[in-house]
Structures are given as C-alpha cells and as structure tokens.
Amino acid sequence: MATTASRLDWVDAAKGISIILVVMMHSAYGVGEDLGGTGILHYIIGWATPFRMPEFFLISGLFMAQVVGRPWRLFADRRVVHYFYFYFLWVILQVLFKVGLGTGDVGEAVSQILWSVVDPYGVLWFIYMLAIYAVATKLLHDLKVPHWAALGGSAALMMFLPKTGIYTLDHFAAYAVYFYAGYAGAQLVFRIVDEALANIPAALAFLVLFAVLEGVLVFGGGSALHPRGLTMGYAAFPPLHLALGFGGSLFVCLLGALLIRLPFMNWLRWLGEHSIVVYLSFSIPMAASRELLLRTGMIKDVSSFSMLVMVVALVSPLALYWLMQRTGWGRFLFERPNWAHIPGTKGRRAHAHGAKVQPAE
C-alpha cells in the first residue's frame, strides 16, 4: 500500500496537471478570440473538456472525510470562511484591475463586487463553489443521507437539469456529483492508484486506451472547434459525459501518480501543492501579457501566442509568491491572516500563539 506521504505527492501532482489545464484553457480561448483562430492548445483542451473541471472537484473532495464530522463552527472556518476569504479578496483585486484601471468606472466596479456575493465572479467561480459543495456535503452527512442517494441525486442534476442562467445553481448541478464522489469514494480512488502503481503496464494501457476513446467521443459525431471552445460530438450525451468525467478524473490521478515517480517531475508536485496561488492570480498576468503581445503584433500564430501567454500566466503567480515568501510582504494574498478566522477555532488560537498563517491550500 502507498504511504500517506506518497498519496499526498500524487494528489499534488494531479492538482498540478489540473492547474495547467485550467490556465491552458483560458490562455487558448482568450488568444483564439483575439486572433480569430484555433491552435494546438485548443485541441488539447477540447480533448480534455469532459473531465477538465470534474477532475478538479473530485480531487478537491478526496480529503473531505477528514473534516466533514467536525462541529459546524470548526468546519465552516476550514471549508467556508477559508475559501470565501480568498474569493472575495481576489474578486476585489481583479475588479479593480480590470474595471478600475481599465475603464475607471467606479460604479461598475462596485456593482460587480456586490454581484459577486450571489453570482460567482469570472475565473474565481470554482473557489466560490468549493465552499458551496462543502456545505452541501456537510448537510448530507449530518442528515445521514446514504452515499448512493446523494450520488444518484447529484448525477441526475448533472444530466437532466436544464440551464437556468443562475450561475450558482448551474455550476452546482454540473459538478456537485464529482465533489461528492471524491468524498464518498476517496478510499476507492486511493486503492485504484495503489494497485495501478503495483502494475504499471496495466496503468499505462488504461491511460492510452482512455486517451484514444476520449478523442473519438469528443471529436467524433459532429464536433466543432471554436476560438473560445468546443462543441462536443458523442461526448455531449449527458450519461456519457458523466462517465467521461469520472474516467478522466481517474486518468488525471493515475497520470499524476506515474509522473511523480520520475526523478525530474518533482516540479509538478510542487506546482500542485501551490496550485491555489496560480488559480487565484493567473488571470491578471494572462490578460496583461496577451494585451501587450497583441499591441506589438510580433506573433500571429495562435499556437505560439497562446503557449507564451500560458507560460507567463503560470510562472508569474509563482514568482510573486516566491517574492512574498522572501520579503514577508503581501502574504495575506495567499495566506489567511488571524482576523479572517472564526473566533474560537483552532486556526485563530494557533495564530495567537505565533503560528504561521494558514495558507490558501
């Protein structure tokens, strides 16, 4: 059996893959829209469409069992206040950057910040939804709802609930099943990864077969690739889409577990360990670099342009984080300070005794 440390390593590696896919998507779609075309990153993200967000939420739910039984005050501090602190902080920063500096319209900036309370803002919606999924899971746990019933109900929401235009509800319906599956099926996922690492040829065979099947189902059946997305083919069929979400989540977990065994891939584990730093702040350097490159007119190729923007969007937040760790300035951007804890929680008492502030992840 894998040790706890190795389990954390492969989970972090899977998170590293996840954040690369997220930044890749936004970089490719933004450049594609600006240049009016598609590039190689569009095909990679198109292929990963059925599982790109499901795997993020499934992985996020893997350790939910460790906290779901806590009293509500302690639970809320770790799984609700924690995420909302970073969500609202970065909503304000992004709105100030995009609206405040972009247009100078103070009224519009205030309006967007206020709406973000009930309507998840931009690329930060996933942080908002992590808190919502956590509360829903805690309620189901406290009400002693069987796992099969919760999974069946959330799967039905994903497959059959029509789009309402209410983003919180639509996002909940689309991905709650994966978060809950990560929570309810964590031991199964760990066991599958353990067994895969004990039989690497079989694991590699699964990865290859799934990659081929995913490509056929996504790009076959009348699919169409656009500068800002993909119209899926066969994979758009809701039950199949659900299955590919689970299969792709397992694909990412196994890929992370195998890659982290290679001596030169520790950077992927480190990236996953600090993935929240990138999630929170990549959109600002991404938008800035794309605008600067557009103005120069030096790069016309969508593939090259989007790859360069993606690298900048990935590296810039990590460089900022490194600088903050070295100087001690601005740590509140990625580490929750003492005042942002619920009074009486362990995190708050720990700060009172001089412990380090709690990181975003």
pLDDT tens per residue, range 208-260 = 999 999 999 999 999 999 999 999 999 999 999 999 999 999 999 999 999 99
Report long-range pairs for 319-324 (Cβ below 8 Å, ≥24 apart): 320/277, 320/281, 321/274, 321/277
Q: Which residues contact 276 (CB under 8 A, 6 or more apart)?
A: 86, 334, 359, 360, 361
Judged against a pLDDT cut of 60, whether residue 353 lies above it is answered with no
Question: What does pTM read for this prediction?
Answer: 0.91
Q: What value does the mean pLDDT of the chain take?
A: 91
DSSP lists the bridge partners of residue 358 as 336
Give me the pLDDT at residue 29, please.
Answer: 96
pLDDT tens per residue, range 88-120 = 999 999 998 888 776 778 888 899 999 999 999
Reading the block at residue 228, the tokens are 């800002």
Reading the block at residue 66, the tokens are 């460790």
Q: Which residue type, as a one-letter code, is found at position 84? A: F
pLDDT tens per residue, range 286-344 = 999 999 999 998 898 999 999 999 999 999 999 999 999 999 999 999 999 999 999 98
Q: Mean pLDDT over residues 127-134, rounded?
A: 97
Q: Which residue type, as a one-letter code, is found at position 34? A: D
Give me the pLDDT at residue 347, please.
Answer: 59
Domain boundaries of the chain, sorted by first residue: 4-359
Judged against a pLDDT cut of 60, whether residue 3 lies above it is answered with no
Q: Which residue type, as a one-letter code, is found at position 167? A: Y
Output the CA angle 64-66-70, nearest 5 degrees: 100
- Alpha carbons 358 and 338: distance in angstroms, whole number: 9
Q: Helical H runs in 143-237?
A: 147-160, 167-184, 186-198, 200-219
pLDDT tens per residue, range 35-57 = 999 999 999 999 999 999 999 99
